[in-house]
Amino acid sequence: TGDVSERNFSLADGKNVLSSEGAELLVKELQQYLVK
């Protein structure tokens, strides 16, 4: 989302940084992928 926040999640040794909103979107997309 481009937002800088202390609540951002850092994954894969800092290669991916997600905001809370971005993490929620990623979880929803992964859940849809797993249902297929």
Q: What is the pLDDT of residues 3-33, one digit of tens each?
A: 777 888 888 888 888 888 888 999 999 999 9
pLDDT of the residue at 14:
85
pLDDT of the residue at 5:
79
Residues 6+ apart with CB under 8 A from 18: 8, 9, 11, 26
pLDDT of the residue at 27:
92
pLDDT of the residue at 30:
92
pLDDT of the residue at 10:
86
C-alpha span between 1 and 22 (Å, rounded)? 7
CA angle 18-35-32, nearest 5°?
Answer: 35
